[in-house]
Chains A and B, each alone.
Chain A
Amino acid sequence: MITLNINSKTTRVDAEPDTPLLWVLRDTVKLTGTKYGCGMALCGACTVHLDGQAVRSCITPVSAAAGKKIVTIESVGRRRVGKAVQDAWRRLDVVQCGYCQSGQIMSAVALLEKNRRPSDTDIDGAMGGNLCRCGTYVRIRAAIHEAAKALA
């Protein structure tokens, strides 16, 4: 059994230590907001926060997450930055299919937690690991600026 702290809740899971955190979250804990897209840290759909850092849960062994604070899309809105990002995403209707957006939001929140006034170049750097096949990048960029404004 591995003890995890997921969204401020202590959760004990029965999983092989090398199981990617993604599948523990999705299939064991049934927190399905975090998505599978590639399994190789290429698309960012599985992005969660580990002690405040954005990580790709599809290549993070669950054993590496033990003892750390795991935050997923389901709870990111409880904090000020997360709420501001979700609100901006909704005000601008960023989403299309929506499948990548959990990961996009988690990456955007991690960026804004560190940098409250990101430039376009900062955004390109922080969001470059998150693919969107619907091509919502124009609005993702706008929503990050919008959230930054709301947080100022």
Chain B
Amino acid sequence: MITTSIENASRRRFLQEAAGLTLAVYLPRALAAAEAGPGKGAGGEVVGAVHFEPNAFVRIGADNTVTVISKHIEMGQGAYTGLATIVAEELDAAWSQVRVEGAPADATLYNNLLMGSIQATGGSTAIANSWDQLRKAGASARAMLIAAAAKQWKISPDELSVSDGVVMHARSKRKASFGELAKAAAREPVPAEVRLKDPKDFKLIGKRAPRKDSADKTDGQAMFTQDVHLPDMLTAVVAHPPRFGGKVKSFDATKAKAIRGVVDVVQIPTGVAVLAKDTWSAKKGRDALQVEWDESKAFRLGSEEIFVKYHELAKSPGAIVRKDGDPDAAFANSARVLRAAYDFPYLAHAAMEPMNCVVRFGKDRCEIWNGEQFQTVDQMKVAALLGLKPEQVTIHMLYAGGSFGRRANPDSDYVLEAASIAKAIAGRSFGNRAVKLMWLREDDTKAGYYRPAFHHVLEAALDAQGRLAGWRHRLVGQSILAGTAFESMMKDGIDPLSVEGAANLPYAIPNLQVDLHTPKDIGVPVLSWRSVGSTHNAYSTETFLDEIAAVLSQDPVAYRLALLDKHSRHAGVLKLAAQKAGWGAPLGADANGDKRGRGVAVHEAFNTYVAQVAEVTVKSDGGVKVDRIVCAVDCGIAVNPDNVRSQVEGAVGFALSAALHGTITLKDGVVEQSNFHDYAPIRINEMPNVEVYIVPSTEKPTGIGEPGVPPVAPAVANAIAAATGKRVRNLPISAERLKA
């Protein structure tokens, strides 16, 4: 056992206050159950509503259920299961008695400890920031249950043990379930100090704990925002301007209002909303709407013009992000210089559930139902719009049908759009009805907030002995943080999200420079997209390094390892992936003009290290089939190894979609893609075999939602180069350029 004191005074106070609140919290629930009458509350009486709430994260009911309150959204990444595993482990609960519930929006209780004072999910931080917090929460509850049993049995707490949700006294064979002890435990003081388990005693962490959301997600019962139906709720579909920065000049709603089921048509800051009794009526209403747009301030460049600008900017140095040694001298004295330039397109998140939000706005109160990833920001933005205090904005966090960053927007775009509609109808007779904003797929694809397009130029200086003496990396692309409430994270005009994965290049290169241009005149809204800066920086750095190794006739794995002397975790995953992939063993022979190749990439993102080896077949028509990807992961302690594997498998699918097909292009400011025919994720036939291996570790756990993404595209591109000798420098991969 490890003894951990709860050092943080404010936290101790919080725990004590939370215990003090227990009665206050469960009494209203008891009343509600009583008011519901017999048969409505558990057992038809208030007893079912008696809960033991030792802190903000655990609630144990008299019915023996352990409810873990998740401050993080479940959007596929397995947070509900992982967070519950941590609590259940320290509590010694039986996994089958554990349920998970989404926390309300309340940053005083549920802030992300890696983001300061805000409640939010992102940056693969859910497990990392909750690890200590939830271990202590589980251990506190366990200690209080033991204390309650000890008192009842008049035994020293030291003589009691807990297993599978039962407190036991071995000598007298007495036992009591958590449910039986809940009421008494609620009267125990919250311990100032808790003992955490020695990791060797873990029963759930590092083992298999099945997902808590599998049942509901396989029989149609899981509740997504799209599934919310409130009494009298209206559904809104919005006509948006065709170009970013466009506004409504005028509109004619006559035909729209004639559609059966349409209730009203209102102008909002982002367009014109058609409100109807259901989605189909609202859509038909929007189709019938005539809107004239004011595009005097609209953004009108196309992708080609944007890249021309970026290429021009790349001719001069940008803001210095990192400078080691004397890069200019290294290049001046070099025997050979290699150079490669890369273009990365805009990418849409294209979550399967298009953005949507339900809002009910009443006097002094606004209620939101949303796949809520950014509670504090959304709460503040909505409050400001509606003239409320943030705490008057209640948020119900529902499952999100994917997000990949889209639902964590500093601009709160779609949430504010929903709130704007509620505000616009507030004075009408039906103004207090809930409104569900539904974006159709086309709205979602064209709405912006894309992964920013980037242009990179990389240069390497090789000295007379063939050593990599200098490295220059220039990036051009829009900032995600500039102009948002998070702009203070930028230093000297440099957005860390633009350069992550480039500025922290791990390779031992004595003279190194990274610089950045951040164009401010591009009116395309941009946002974090699963693994953020690493989506492009892992690609350019890992393919360029591979190219250097090839020029030097060095083995790509051995060459990397030689430069990773001081980075044992990078080296660890690289060696493991290479070994499991059979690196160096011959691949099956080329046939029918097909060429086969194997490529590798390694990258750290969000303190998780991932190496991948890809095997590809390039057909004579240039088509690329990715056959197999072997992944090695070091994410510290793997709380739920099966979920780690699942996330990395999924990351392969997600990243391949971008590498093989993903591009959002603009023409005269209009986004050219609209739906899955022209913005196409991969389908099952394009999914390779994926193997995931986890490096055993005793380090604290780090995230796994995003870090599987960055190495995929460079590993595939390096495999293509191994097969064909052709370097892919523009994404997505073009079959045209790979034709034999």
Contacts from A to B (Cβ < 8 Å): 16, 19-20, 23, 26-28, 30-40, 42-43, 45, 72-74, 77, 86, 89-90, 93-102, 105, 123-124, 127-141
Contacts and interface: CB of A to CB of B under 8 A. Distances in A.
Nearest to B208: A93
A77 B220 CA distance: 11
Given A33-B220, A138-B690, A96 B353 contact: no
Contact of B280 (A27, A102, A124): A27
Nearest to A62: B280
- The majority secondary structure among interface residues of chain A is loop
A36 B353 CA distance: 7
Interface string B374-405: 00000000000000000000000001111110
B78 A96 contact: yes
A101 B218 contact: yes
A97 B214 CA distance: 10
B740 to A, nearest CB: 25
B676 interface: yes
Interface in B321-362: 350-354
A98 B399 contact: yes
A37 B401 CA distance: 10
B219 A43 contact: no
Which of B352, B652, B657 counts the most A-chain CB atoms under 10 A from its CB?
Answer: B352
B352 A43 contact: yes
A127 B684 contact: yes
15 contacts: A23-B278, A32-B224, A35-B401, A39-B440, A94-B218, A95-B214, A95-B217, A98-B76, A99-B352, A128-B685, A132-B684, A133-B402, A136-B646, A140-B684, A141-B684
Contacts of A134: 76, 352, 402, 650, 653-654
A80 B226 CA distance: 29
B649 interface: yes
B211 A99 contact: no
Given A32-B227, A135-B652, 8 more contacts: A19-B280, A27-B235, A27-B279, A28-B278, A90-B214, A98-B401, A132-B352, A136-B646
A90 B215 contact: yes
Nearest to B705: A96
B75 interface: yes
B612 to A, nearest CB: 14
B477 interface: no
A121 B85 CA distance: 37
Contacts of B214: 89-90, 93-95
Given A27-B235, A39-B441, A137 B218 contact: no
B217 A98 contact: yes
Contacts of B188: none
Contact of A135 (B224, B643, B687): B687
A43 B503 CA distance: 38
Contact of A97 (B75, B223, B260): B75
A36 B280 CA distance: 11
Contacts of B504: none
B219 A95 contact: no
B280 A20 contact: yes
Given A26-B279, A90-B210, A128-B684, A97 B76 contact: yes
Interface string B641-684: 01100110111111011000000000000000001110001111
A1 B118 CA distance: 51
A132 B682 CA distance: 8
A82 to B, nearest CB: 9
Nearest to A31: B220
Contacts of A127: 683-684
A98 B684 contact: no
A8 B221 CA distance: 18
Contacts of A74: 219-221
B642 A96 contact: no
Contacts of B278: 23, 27-28
Which of B235, B401, B403, B647 counts the most A-chain CB atoms under 10 A from its CB?
Answer: B401
Nearest to A97: B76
Contacts of A93: 210-211, 214, 642-643, 646
Contact of B76 (A35, A96, A131): A96
A8 B465 CA distance: 78
A90 B353 CA distance: 21
B297 interface: no
Contact of B351 (A95, A97, A128, A130): A97
Nearest to B356: A36
Contact of A95 (B213, B226, B280): B213
A131 B652 CA distance: 14
Contacts of B681: 131-133
B685 A124 contact: yes
Contacts of B400: 97
Given A93-B642, A136-B649, A23 B75 contact: no
